[in-house]
Each structure stands twice: as C-alpha cells, then as structure tokens.
Structure 1
Amino acid sequence: MKCPCDPSRLYENCCKKVHQHIFLATTAEQLMRSRYSAFVLGNIAFLKESCHSSIRPKNKEAQQIENWTNSVNWIKLVVLHSMEGLNKDSTGAVAFKAFYIENNNVEMIYENSRFCKENGHWVYRGIQGK
C-alpha cells in the first residue's frame, strides 16, 4: 500500500514504522507526516499518543475526531516548509496543506503546526500562534 503522506513511498517503509514506534520519528516533519497518515487511516490511538500531554484528546474528543476523519475522503498532503524540528532540536514547526473531500466539496486544511519533544520523542504541540 502507498503511504498517505507520500504516494511515492510504501506505507510499510514510511509512516507504519512511526505508527508502531513513535520514537522512530526523528524530525518534527516526520511526526507531522505520520499524523496525517494516521488521520487518513483512522489511527486515533496514534493521534492521541502523538499529542503533547497538555492537549491530548480525551475519549469523547477522540471519538469525535474518529467520526470526522472517517467521514471524509483524504486526497493529499503538501508540506510547504519546516523550521527547526531536526533530530538535534527540541522544538520545530511544519507548515502544510491537507486536502480532502467532504460533502462532495474539496476542502483544505492549512496549518503551521508546532512540535516539541516530550519524554524523548516528538509530539504535536498545537497551531503556531495559538
């Protein structure tokens, strides 16, 4: 199967590894890509695990996320740029666009996501500026 984050790669050689072992995400961009793939695949457990402990969704919110992500058809991810977020860094940001179809309309999420390391691995911290 092709990886949702990059159709030129196989899922098993890309995001699947991070989904199974979050410590394998060595950059903020790699974690962001694996989170996009988790949305596409409905992997809510990984979405929760990859959030900073201060913003980790509770069960009700996680159920709402699962319901929504399963109700849309994901099209593609476009990474615009990354700032910091390398293995040696403790924080980083990744700007991206995620395209999907909802109610027969093409929609887009634009986000400049913040990431940091918590417990030795990258986690999603929220949207830049919030």
Structure 2
Amino acid sequence: MECPCCSGKEYKDCCEPYHKDELLPKTPEVLMRSRYSAFSLHLVDYLVETTHPSKRPYHSKSEIDQWSKQNTLLKLIVVKAWDNYVHFKAYYQDHLGDFYEHEELSAFQKEGSKWYYVDGKFDL
C-alpha cells in the first residue's frame, strides 16, 4: 500500500514504523507526515501521543476520531519545512462530497529525542 502521506514510498517503509512505535520521527516534517497518515488511517491514539502534553487538554479524542472518519484525506503537499516548523497544504473531501484545502504552518517542539506537534496557524 502506498503511504497516505504522499511520499511516494510504501506505507511499511514510510509511516508505519512510527505508527507501530518502532521508530521515532527524526524531524518535524517526518512527524507531520506521520500525523497526516494517522488521520487518514484513523489512528487517534498516535495523534494524541504526538501532540505536546501541554496541548492535549485542548484536543478531544472523540472529536479527532469523528473528524477522521467523516473526511477523506486526498493529498498532502509540504510547502516548506525548516527548524521546528512545517508549512503544508492538505486536501480532503468531507462526508457531503465537498472538497477543501487546509493550509497550515505547524509548530513542533522536541523534548529529549521525541518531537511533538504544538500548534498551527491557519490564516496564511
């Protein structure tokens, strides 16, 4: 199966090792791609675990699960990745058949050897 993160690699050679907790993402871009794939595959626990602990109270596990099941992710484009930021565009279709583009500048933070998603800016 091709990886949902649009890397062009097979899932088993791309995001699956992160989802199975066999490897830690080494960069914010790799973490962001693995989170995109996790949304696509409805891996809510992974999404929660890779969100910075200080931000987890602001994210509802059931809302993440519901959103991921009501929307189909179609394409990911990484515009630019640098330092602890990733600017990306994600394209998806909702359960009503409407198409959307989500553009975000995400911030990440590293603690020890693990990167976490902190937050994102959407008014780009």
TM-score (norm 1): 0.86
Residues of 1 paired with 2:50 and 2:76: CA distance? 18
Asked if 1:83 corresponds to 2:82, the answer is yes
Amino acid at match of 1:98: A
Question: Of 97, 101, 106, which residue of structure 1 is paired with 2:93?
Answer: 101
Structure 1 residue 69, shift from structure 2 partner: 0.9
5+ residue gaps, structure 1, are: 85-91
Structure 1 residue 18, shift from structure 2 partner: 1.1
Asked if 1:121 corresponds to 2:114, the answer is yes
Kindly indicate whether the alpha-carbon contact (under 8 Å) linking 1:51 and 1:123 is maintained by their aligned counterparts in 2: yes
Amino acid at match of 1:106: F
Amino acid at match of 2:75: K
Structure 1 residue 128, shift from structure 2 partner: 4.4
Residues of 2 paired with 1:7 and 1:27: CA distance? 15
5+ residue gaps, structure 2, are: none
Q: Say if 1:56 and 1:23 are closer, same or farther in 2 by CA, change over 3 A.
A: farther
Residues of 2 paired with 1:128 and 1:27: CA distance? 19
Structure 1 residue 24, shift from structure 2 partner: 2.3
TM-score (norm 2): 0.90
Give me the CA root mean square deviation. 1.9
Kindly indicate whether the alpha-carbon contact (under 8 Å) linking 2:39 and 2:47 is maintained by their aligned counterparts in 1: yes
Matched position secondary structure for 1:45: helix
Structure 1 residue 100, shift from structure 2 partner: 0.4
Structure 1 residue 108, shift from structure 2 partner: 1.2
Structure holding more strand per residue: 1
Identity %: 36
Residues of 2 paired with 1:54 and 1:20: CA distance? 23
Aligned residues: 121
Q: Say if 1:13 and 1:78 are closer, same or farther in 2 by CA, change over 3 A.
A: same
Residues of 1 paired with 2:40 and 2:72: CA distance? 8
- Corresponding residue number in structure 2 for 1:71: 70
Residues of 2 paired with 1:73 and 1:32: CA distance? 17
